[in-house]
Structure 1
Amino acid sequence: MRRYRLGSHTKTDLKVHIIWIPKYRKKVLTGQVAVRTRDILRQIAYEHELEVISGKVASDHVHMFIGHRPTQNISKIVQWLKGISSRALLSEFAHLKKQFWGRAPMG
């Protein structure tokens, strides 16, 4: 059964599938980092009135299928999800900061 978002003169059902990877596709989203990533993304979605239909945090990428309002730009949604989660994870897990900030990877 479809769940539409109703406006004063509109009925919408907007969904987007978003996939993104960590820098250099490093396999850092494992264990406690993966659990915390999932929790942070759920919290961001709740705060911005996004409906998470499905999602998966794999070791080297994140999938999210999201329902959103017509007034929310997809670029802004991605900015919220990636930016807020990145800052939170880097502040909570010191080993991530060491992996992503410093020397460029060799070959």
Structure 2
Amino acid sequence: MANTYTQIHIQVVFTVQNRDCIIQETWKNELYKYISGIINNHNHKVLAINGMPDHVHILIGMRPTQSLSELMQDVKGDSSKWINQKKFTKGKFSWQEGFGAFSYSKSHINQVIDYIKNQEEHHKKWSFLEEYRTLLEKFEVEFDQRYIFRGVDYGNDIFQQQ
């Protein structure tokens, strides 16, 4: 796309199916490298990636050549297939449907990178549910609680589980 100049920074957050805590320390870095490779192969740039056993955060420098939904479909589909081929989990691995996406200006990129890098410290103070709700509210994203990430045994929306 000649003469197209953009600066698009998106933080994406998505969870393991049922928010199961199954991303293990022994293979999470390999997973992050694999996901980064998928994103880079689509000519986008991973600025930061990290997460917890039940979810992942990625800060992406997006090119306008692909929609975010298409990219996330590839990331989640290809990485699920890869995890299952590697037999990292006992049962079939899958990501939960949907994702959160939040855009940032260049002046906020270093703060977001630090935030993503420090997920372990951050989650000593906040649960994923509190974190996700805060992001949605901070960015004034309208949401229906019936469709927010569901927990393992509850079948209720996440906010009723707290």
Q: TM-score range by the shorter chain?
A: 0.7 to 0.9
Aligned Cα RMSD in Å? 2.1
Task: Find the aligned partners of 1:48 and 1:97 in 2 and give their Cα distance.
Answer: 30
| Matched-pair identity in % | 25
Structure 1 residue runs without a partner (length 5+):
1-6
Structure 2 residue runs without a partner (length 5+):
95-151, 155-162
Where does residue 70 of structure 2 map in the other structure? 76
- Structure 1 position 52 matched with structure 2 position 46: yes
State the TM-score, normalized to the length of structure 2: 0.54
2:29 to 28, 35, 46: 35
Mark the CA change 1:100 to 1:68 in structure 2 (over 3 Å): closer, same or farther: closer
1:8 to 2, 15, 36: 2
Mark the CA change 1:46 to 1:10 in structure 2 (over 3 Å): closer, same or farther: closer
State the TM-score, normalized to the length of structure 1: 0.78
- Structure 1 position 61 matched with structure 2 position 55: yes
1:29 touches 1:57 (CA, 8 Å); kept in 2?
no
Where does residue 19 of structure 1 map in the other structure? 13
Mark the CA change 1:28 to 1:11 in structure 2 (over 3 Å): closer, same or farther: same
Equivalences, count: 97
Which is strand-richer, 1 or 2? 1
